């Protein structure tokens, strides 16, 4: 028999997780603060619990009947505070809590400590997928926490997405997650600014995006591994596109935004960083030098 799983939180993501577990044949108990959310799960065979406590207890009972390991509880709520208010005071003894709620590394470590005091095993997770991707090959989820707990539940977790275990420190999954989300928002911010410029001149967005924006960004992405190699192995002597040149050209980006009536606020921080790089003697370096400046500022 497949491991019984409890899912707490039936938002867009929790519902997708519960669906994937049900499709893979895991007995699945679900709970959501607002009752009756995602009624399709009932037809798919989910057991609906009236309270979070009942949902967790259900998973333990089914597990005992099945003779498998401790109850597996997947938590996918809005923010860390909601995880705390949902789990605090519940009997979690012997359960494994897998928390896939977005959090900071500090929040994840604090949750791990609280749940250890409550007698639970804890894995923190960071989902790198949107809900329709869950259970498909493109999705992956970072996990951190005790490796033996991850290995014990690996098979059930593989149903959700490719698991990427990143270490015992419970804060690591959140750090990887936030790093990728930060990269994504940088990319989206750049694309949104480009589209604001183009549409400010009444040029159709879709055609521009398909013909130019996506091919350009895709080509630029190929320079990132080189940047990473320079961070790991030290900078190469010369940069094809040095920072002094980029800082000078960057002024035109801000001026053009202003002239087109587009808010330059997504652009200005990068301009400041480029100027700081030149002012502190990195004018001949490549873009990887900016990573050092960001870290020094922290």
Strand 96-99: give its sheet, edge to edge. Answer: 47-48, 28-31, 5-8, 72-75, 96-99, 121-128, 140-144, 162-167
Which is nearer to ligand FVH, 5 or 13 (by Cβ)? 13
Nearest 5°: the CA angle 195, 177, 60 is 130
Q: Report the relative pairing of strands 47-48 and 72-75 from DSSP bridges.
A: unpaired
Distance of closest approach, residue 76 Cβ to ligand FVH, in angstroms: 5
Query: Which x/- pattern, by CB under 6 A, does the window 12-31 give for ligand FVH?
Result: xxx-----------------
Closest CA to 21 of 150, 160, 138: 160
Which is nearer to ligand FVH, 48 or 282 (by Cβ)? 48
For 145-171, give one letter per residue: b (16+ CB within 10 A) or e. Answer: bbeebbebbeebbebbbebebbeebbb
**192 is a contact residue toward ligand FVH (CB under 6 A):** no
CA atoms within 13 A on the CB side of 151: 5
Which is nearer to ligand FVH, 142 or 165 (by Cβ)? 142
**6 is a contact residue toward ligand FVH (CB under 6 A):** no
Ranked by CB distance to ligand FVH, the top (closest) residue is 11
**Which position among 5, 7, 10, 139 is part of the footprint of ligand FVH (CB under 6 A)?**
10
Query: Which x/- pattern, by CB under 6 A, does the window 58-97 give for ligand FVH?
Result: ------------------xxx---x--xx-----------
Distance of closest approach, residue 4 Cβ to ligand FVH, in angstroms: 20
Crossing angle, helix 243-259 and helix 172-200, to 10 degrees? Answer: 50
Tokens of 239: 């940069």
The dihedral through the CA atoms of 42, 72, 54, 52 has a sign that is: negative
**47 is a contact residue toward ligand FVH (CB under 6 A):** no
**105 is a contact residue toward ligand FVH (CB under 6 A):** no
Which is nearer to ligand FVH, 7 or 267 (by Cβ)? 7
Distance of closest approach, residue 191 Cβ to ligand FVH, in angstroms: 18
- In the complex, the residues that contact ligand FVH under the rule CB under 6 A are 9-14, 32-34, 37, 76-78, 82, 85-86, 101-102, 127, 130-131
């Amino acid at each position: 028999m497949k491991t019984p799983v409890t899912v707490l939180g039936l938002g867009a993501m929790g519902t997708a997780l519960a669906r994937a577990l049900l499709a893979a044949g895991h007995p699945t108990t679900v709970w959501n603060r607002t009752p009756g959310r995602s009624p399709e799960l009932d037809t798919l065979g989910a057991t609906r619990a009236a309270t979070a406590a009942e949902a967790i207890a259900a998973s333990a009972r089914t597990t005992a009947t099945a003779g498998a390991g401790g109850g597996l509880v997947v938590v996918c709520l809005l923010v860390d505070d909601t995880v705390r208010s949902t789990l605090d005071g519940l009997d979690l003894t012997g359960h494994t809590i897998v928390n896939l709620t977005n959090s900071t590394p500090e929040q994840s470590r604090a949750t791990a400590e609280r749940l250890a005091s409550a007698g639970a095993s804890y894995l923190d997770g960071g989902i790198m997928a949107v809900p329709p991707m869950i259970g498909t090959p493109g999705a992956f989820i970072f996990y951190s926490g005790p490796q033996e707990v991850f290995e014990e539940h690996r098979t059930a977790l593989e149903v959700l997405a490719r698991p990427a275990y990143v270490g015992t420190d419970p804060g690591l999954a959140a750090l990887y997650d936030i790093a990728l989300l930060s990269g994504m928002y940088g990319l989206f911010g750049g694309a949104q600014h480009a589209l604001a410029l183009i549409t400010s001149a009444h040029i159709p967005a879709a055609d521009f995006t398909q013909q130019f924006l996506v091919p350009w960004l895709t080509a630029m992405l190929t320079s990132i591994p080189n940047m990473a190699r320079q961070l790991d192995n030290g900078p190469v002597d010369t940069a094809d596109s040095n920072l002094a040149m980029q800082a000078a050209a960057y002024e035109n980006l801000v001026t053009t935004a202003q002239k087109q009536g587009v808010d330059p606020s997504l652009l200005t921080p990068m301009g400041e960083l480029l100027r700081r790089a030149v002012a502190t003697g990195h004018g001949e370096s490549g873009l990887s030098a900016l990573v050092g400046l960001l870290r020094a500022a922290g």
